[in-house]
Structure 1
Amino acid sequence: MEKNLYINLGTFLNRFEVRPNGSYSFFLGSGTSVQSGIPTGAQLVWDFKRRLYCDHHRIAHEKLRDLQSSENQKMIQDFLESQKILPANPRLEYSFYFERCFPSSDDRKYYIQTKVSNSIPSIGHKCLGRLFVENVSDCIFTTNFDELIESGIQLVKPGHSFLVVSPEKHERIGELERASFSKVIKLHGDYRYDSLKNTTEELKSLDSNLAAFFKKIGASKGLIFVGYSGNDDSILTLLEEIVDNKEYFPHGLVWCLRQDQKPNERIESLLTRARAVNEHSGFLIIDNFDELAYLLYSKKCKRDEAIEKESKTLVNKKQVFNMDFALANQQPFILNAVEISKFPSTAYSVTSGDLRWADLKNPNSRDKVVYSLFKGKLYLWGKKDDCAQYLAELKINQTSTSIDLFKNKLGEESSFYQGMIYDALMIHFQGKGFQRFKRAGIFDPKSAVNDRSIPRGYQAFEAVELQLFWGDGKLRLLMAPTIYVKSPVQDMKNDPVVTGIVNRIKSNRYNQKVGELLKVWRSRLFQKTNDSFSLEILALYLTRHFHLPDIRRLRRLNFYKDASIMKNQKLFSIQMI
């Protein structure tokens, strides 16, 4: 996008301050209602998609609560694509999936009512209300169904008279031209009275009287879009009809974006055309609607004590939080990890010749040794006699030699070395009756998870994934409790149901539950009386303390001698790896 399409926020605020009252109208989208607890259109789309996924698999919607999770979103989207439940145009997702979930217009209206009723105006709505009652702006357009705009106006000046117009208030549409009152125009309807516009067909056109009034306002005022995605064909078509005319939007067409937001191509094209005929048009980067509305109110309105008191929360949110980090030479700690204080430093080695990885799995003695091919060498861990037997079965007549892995820079962070430790661990755990999955995951076939939401034919088991990592010159073993799912589908890796089951169960497990599972897994995997174990291949020695992610444990500093507590904030300063 061209940089000259952006408007400097300070420049715009100064312009807004010096222009006469009535110079600007506002156009509010669903993003302006987020602080009041009303989901945005994009959030509603994921709710619709979740409903389709859960209804298909006959599971409760609350089992898939975290719709911010990229894993959950991918799982749901993969399902929709596999079932070809997709709109012809990605910009039409909202209307497509809404109608798919609720074919009845009455049901769609009741759904919206559950989302918007009893919502409380944010400070942004109150600031907008103050701009409204002081005639700084006398016209607000919105595609929102809620009554936050009206409530914000009444909160700052109870009993203030203004006109609310929506498509089905036929008797009031004619008043637009005649009324001297300030106006709130709900282009898609009011959830309290109207049949709401939600589907693709409903959003294709705008009431002709409202469209005519929109053009009339555009001929005399600037227009500020806030919290609006621009996915309504009727609105954009109307704008595209008039944007090239210099007679429209004399004070500019201003489209607000968040720092991380990018407009779609159609909106970018629209603002490019608007900028070509008016230098005051363009994109305005803002933090959020509340802050912008407060800044505009501060420029033009009398001081409102209630707003000023509430505004302190906006200031506090933007204050920089200073935290003293641990020094670089302090030892870090990780909550769900144990330190491996002693580990093998040597291995038996022979020249591998023409050996391939597949060949290494053939000998009957393969389960008694740990083996790896690396740069023309075969490396082995195990008893000397077992290693000799393994080499004999491979028909290797060489005499193995002991090599110092660390001296030859083959230890520590090399994937070759860590791979051998993983294999050694798996031999140990499989000998205890556990089964392996992935590179370093194990599950207990005797610990099936009892969950009614698991579809027929699938089985879930308690599991743990292990990860080795080096930090501060030390080797640590990270343990992460998880779920392993057996699927009736041959291609388990690409079965979205498996991912759904795992995410659903894990999303309902919080710190205390995870801490309990970590305790159980450590006691089952390692000896209770001695923090070490022997594989008869190698010995690993573990540190005595195991840190758990239950927040209550953080009050006991005997495990965390290098963590520091801030005096004021009472937060831990931790050096991260």
Structure 2
Amino acid sequence: MTNHTSIYLEFDSFLRSIKQNLDGSFGVLLGAGASISSGIQSANDCIWDWKESIYQTLSGNQQKLVDPKKSERSRMIIQQWLDAQNDFPQAGSPNEYSFYAERTYKIEADRIKYFQNLCQGKIPYVGYKLLCLLNKYGIVKSVWSTNFDGLVERAAQQANITPITINLDCVDRIYRTESSNELLYIALHGDYKYSTLKNTAKELDSQHEEFVVAMRRYFIDKSLIVLGYSGRDRSLMDAINQAFTDKGAGRLYWCGYGKNAALEVQNLIQNIRNTGRIAYYIDTNGFDNVMLSLMKFCFNEDVAKQKEINEILKIINTDQPILPFHIKNGITKKYLKSNLFPVTFPKEIL
């Protein structure tokens, strides 16, 4: 059966769909984009760290450069040098992350130390705290993550929830009975606190078979919300494809950033829909905004829960960067209704 209808779902429709299905249970898959507001740099920033390190040690150029994560000129100088060597992938190539991770730190322990330093002292921001509330309310039963930052575990502990962490060193723990006061946390790419960490192409392309089997079984009757994940890991994308093309009732909600889904995501969603299961791409404003919108809408009639949500919102750091107001292309009446007021001029001017 082929489904030719659009793979795109409006954000407001997504909110209504989740609220309509609060009596079910959900898993959440988090990628690196979910942690940026908590102070963890993005995968792209890591790539530029590694490029700069290689440039400094191989070029012999002792010129002090401005941080390439902040300077377009520095990026240009580094990239031009890399391109001239004919030994590095083209800028923007999908294998840049795995290539530069291994080329910069060939010793696995050094890669682990790099990520350990990145995550040191970072505090979970509001999205992670609201995610733990969804677990407390019995809606989100598990969090699957490609991240190494430990923010899910820290947020759970702060909320007096016991995180049951499952990683590549203890895959068998995934087969356990769910408990109402526990959050199942599956670290798909390992964790810097443990010995096995997946970064290189060889590692990323060999998703642990136990995780694949567990995912296929787990999402037969549970839905998955994807947040902050680009889909760069082919083995994980294949695992999701296997899980949601099996017969089942669980849905896939892929929350991305931008109107148009990446080709890999489009293909994944279409494959799932071709089997008769439900899958959609939703254009969002990021992890924190999705969590806040879900909590506010889904529990707008529950005074006690709204009070808990508002308590969490008090921790929002006013030092967080404020983005310029922007209206996306499309229907604008929801902005106009809430932000425009009639203006009348006085009949007499003194």
Same fold by TM (over 0.5)?
yes
The answer to whether the aligner puts 1:131 opposite 2:134 as a matched pair is yes
Q: Which structure 2 segments of 5+ residues have no match? A: 300-304, 327-350
**1:566 maps to what in 2?**
none
> Residue deviations 1:440-485, cap 9 Å, x none?
xxxxxxxxxxxxxxxxxxxxxxxxxxxxxxxxxxxxxxxxxxxxxx
Higher relative helix content:
2
Q: Which structure 1 segments of 5+ residues have no match? A: 322-577
Q: Give the TM-score normalised by structure 2.
A: 0.80
**1:211 maps to what in 2?**
212
The answer to whether the aligner puts 1:295 opposite 2:293 as a matched pair is yes
How many angstroms apart in 1 are the aligned matches of 2:37 and 2:78?
A: 26
How many angstroms apart in 2 are the aligned matches of 1:300 and 1:187?
A: 29
**1:258 maps to what in 2?**
257
**1:175-254 alignment runs, 5 A limit:** 175-181=173-179, 182-245=183-246, 247-248=247-248, 250-254=249-253
Other structure's SS at 2:226 match: strand
How many angstroms apart in 1 are the aligned matches of 2:216 and 2:250?
A: 14
Change (3 A) 1:167 1:4: same
**Does the aligned pair in 2 maintain the 1:136–1:300 contact within 8 Å?**
no
Amino acid at match of 1:218: F
Which of residues 56, 59, 71 in structure 2 aligns to 1:57?
A: 59
Other structure's SS at 1:49 match: helix
Q: How many residues align structurally?
A: 312
Change (3 A) 1:298 1:278: farther
Which of residues 60, 84, 87 in structure 2 aligns to 1:85?
A: 87
How many angstroms apart in 2 are the aligned matches of 1:12 and 1:153?
A: 25
The answer to whether the aligner puts 1:140 opposite 2:140 as a matched pair is no
**1:309 maps to what in 2?**
314
Amino acid at match of 1:8: E
Amino acid at match of 1:225: V
Other structure's SS at 2:225 match: strand
**2:16 maps to what in 1?**
14
> Residue deviations 1:518-545, cap 9 Å, x none?
xxxxxxxxxxxxxxxxxxxxxxxxxxxx
**1:327-366 alignment runs, 5 A limit:** none
**Does the aligned pair in 2 maintain the 1:128–1:297 contact within 8 Å?**
no
Change (3 A) 1:58 1:199: same
Deviation at 1:251, TM superposition (A): 4.1
The answer to whether the aligner puts 1:100 opposite 2:103 as a matched pair is yes
- Please tell me the root mean square deviation across aligned C-alpha atoms, in Å: 2.8
How many angstroms apart in 2 are the aligned matches of 1:206 and 1:316?
A: 36
Deviation at 1:206, TM superposition (A): 1.9
**Does the aligned pair in 2 maintain the 1:27–1:141 contact within 8 Å?**
yes
How many angstroms apart in 1 are the aligned matches of 2:114 and 2:81?
A: 24
Name which of structure 1's ranges 7-16 and 87-96 shifts more when overlaid on structure 2. Answer: 87-96
Name which of structure 1's ranges 102-111 and 286-295 shifts more when overlaid on structure 2. Answer: 286-295
The answer to whether the aligner puts 1:114 opposite 2:112 as a matched pair is no
**1:444-463 alignment runs, 5 A limit:** none
Higher relative contact order (CA 8 A, sep 6+): 2
**1:426-437 alignment runs, 5 A limit:** none
How many angstroms apart in 2 are the aligned matches of 1:196 and 1:70?
A: 31
How many angstroms apart in 2 are the aligned matches of 1:267 and 1:126?
A: 27
**1:16-31 alignment runs, 5 A limit:** 16-31=18-33
- The percent identity for this pair of structures is 26
Amino acid at match of 1:241: Q
Change (3 A) 1:3 1:290: farther
**1:166 maps to what in 2?**
167
Q: Which structure's CA Rg is the greater one?
A: 1
